[in-house]
Chains A and B, each alone.
Chain A
Amino acid sequence: MRRQRLFLLGLLSPVTLYLGVFFFGPLAIIAVFSVLEPGLYGGVEWNFYHWNYGRIFGWADGVVEWYEPVYLKILFRSMLMAAFTVIACLILVYPVTFWVSRLPQRAQLFFMFLITLPFFTSLIIRLYAWLVILKPSGLINDVLLGIGLIETPLDMLFTRFAVVLGMVYVMIPFMFLPVYSSVERLDRTLIEASGDLGARGWQTFLKVILPQTLPGIAGGSVLVFIPSVGNFIIPDVLGGAKGLMIGNLVEQQFLDARNWPFGAALSMVIMAVVLTVMLIYATKIVRAGQRIGEV
């Protein structure tokens, strides 16, 4: 018995030490830095300083720091863009999961393989590809100009549209896999029963199919929303000035403005959004899913 405990200790101590130091350490230090005073030349003064949050949320009165509504605005915009990304991913993916779920076993495996494969190619190259496609002299404009649908090239690059498109493209596997796994497990007898009892197609969909696939939809939505809301590479490459997201603001504080405490405060806000979403998922949606599962 004692040997067993020793073995367990041996198995668990690497992860405990590693995450304890290199994961919780950094998180704790962000929290500490977010309430420290920024130094004059990019350093930090070890004094308590709540104005970092005041600048974001509005109690900085202009004496020490100014309240800048732009931060909240960009935060909400980022959440909105992440939400759009979730919805667009879902709409794109949902019908396809039904189609794939009824293919022969081998074909199912093949299409799952096709979905996951791009995930393994470099992110930055996939974004770069969209840069080439969207730019004024790019593929889409070439085609549209060629068939005479438009007369001047559309400005698609460096817009919020381009950012959401890029995020949707990158996040598709995260939506597809959870939704697919719940669509695949759909109870077909319930759907038939619904039809036999006189429900119309859309009624069956709303009352039978949708509730059964809800756990997958919720899981996929969380998996897409979280990496989207704090993203800074995608808006950096495709968004330009118009498509700025909260992640870009954090990056600017660290690399251009060199105001680390304020950057830390901004990333605490991102972390709060993410943890709230995870908490809602864990308490509300998982439980609701279990209830549906019990019926």
Chain B
Amino acid sequence: MRKIRPWPLTLTLYSLLFFCFIYLPLVVVIVFSFNSNVLDMASWESFTFDWYLGLFGLREVAPSQGTSAIYVESTDQLLNALKNSLIVATFTTIISTTIGTATAIAMARHRFRLRGTYQGVMMLPMMMPDIVLGIGLLIFFITLGFKLSLLTIIIGHCTFLSSYVFIVVQARMAGLDPALEEASADLGANEWVTFRKVLLPQLMPGVVGGAMLAFIISMDDLVITYFIAGTDSTTLPMFIFSMIRRGVKPEINAIATLLILASLIIAGAGLYLRSRRVE
């Protein structure tokens, strides 16, 4: 084996720049959340914690601007939106993990006529543009007389998140040895016992991974939620979206920073655990 020529230095530099580019926007938001400039958040004035304090109602911010009411009001709305998002994500995760896992097991352990069709159909909800699914669900719910609420959001999220869970669990299934389940059956265990005692414990990392993915995507979904949320079921991404649309308030940087940190910690921990398991 001949020694491979090392990459030119320019490639290394370019790659490092590329990774800076990926993180630049996140860094900008975090830095500017400490900017005291009320009128124009994008130009730096001086360091302040005010937006964070204002967010939790600990400090009345900038009453001279005549906008102090905004902060108190939006903190309640913010917490309410966060609560809605957590409710939706929790139920969505439970339902879509159940459906996705059951389907993945069926596909891996059983031979049946429509297997290829099911495999293809499971890809469809992920590939369907969000907006098509969103308006489809909207017309569907309205035509059938559903009242738009948190429930309709949960139903909508599960249609595409079941497929995400399916993919993750299926990948895990592929690495399992069916001989263990056969042995269990040979030793007299019925399907249910084999499932509970042999298959499920081995499958768990995949199920947890799929559930985490479903939770994160559900927390973050905006497009589908946007169409099928009722007036009193604003979720966190919708709240931020409408804040941006109405004209940006300085405190949004603080909200964004907290959210970035929360998701980086959760996702970081998840990905780290997974990579550890691979080693």
Residues of A within 8 A of B (CB): 3-4, 7-8, 10-12, 14-15, 18-19, 22-23, 25-27, 29-30, 33, 92-93, 95-96, 98-100, 102, 109, 111, 113-118, 120-126, 128-133, 135, 137-139, 142, 169, 172, 188, 192, 226-227, 229-233, 236-237, 247, 250-251, 254, 260, 263-264, 267, 270-271, 274, 278
Cα distance, A122 to B264, chains bound together (Å): 10
Asked if B41 and A132 sit within 8 Å, CB to CB, the answer is: yes
Flag B1-37 by CB within 8 Å of A: 1 or 0 each: 0101001000110110011001111101100100000
Contact-residue size bin, chain B (C-beta under 8 Å from the other chain): 35 or more
Cα distance, A227 to B25, chains bound together (Å): 21
Cα distance, A227 to B132, chains bound together (Å): 11
Report, nearest first, the 3 A-B pairs whose CB atoms are least far apart.
A26-B136, A230-B129, A129-B25
Chain A proximity of B45: nearest CB distance (Å) = 12
Residues from chain B with Cβ under 8 Å of A120 in the complex: 216, 263-264, 266-267
Asked if B136 and A27 sit within 8 Å, CB to CB, the answer is: yes
Asked if B32 and A26 sit within 8 Å, CB to CB, the answer is: no
Residues from chain A with Cβ under 8 Å of B135 in the complex: 30, 250, 254, 263-264, 267
Asked if B103 and A15 sit within 8 Å, CB to CB, the answer is: yes
Contact of B155 among A22, A123, A125, A274 (CB under 8 A): A22
B58 within 8 A of A: no
* Chain A contact surface mostly: helix
Asked if A124 and B140 sit within 8 Å, CB to CB, the answer is: no
B198 within 8 A of A: no
Among listed B61-69, B71-79, B119-127, B201-209, interface-contacting one: B119-127
Cα distance, A278 to B248, chains bound together (Å): 38
Residues from chain A with Cβ under 8 Å of B180 in the complex: none
Flag B103-116 by CB within 8 Å of A: 1 or 0 each: 10110001010000
Contact of B102 among A11, A33, A124 (CB under 8 A): A11
B159 within 8 A of A: yes
Beta-carbon contacts under 8 Å, B187-226 to A = 190-191, 216, 219-220, 222-223
Residues from chain A with Cβ under 8 Å of B178 in the complex: none
Chain A proximity of B112: nearest CB distance (Å) = 6
Given A121-B26, A132-B29, A250-B131, residue A30 in contact with residue B136 (CB < 8 A)? yes
Asked if A137 and B159 sit within 8 Å, CB to CB, the answer is: no
Chain A proximity of B6: nearest CB distance (Å) = 8
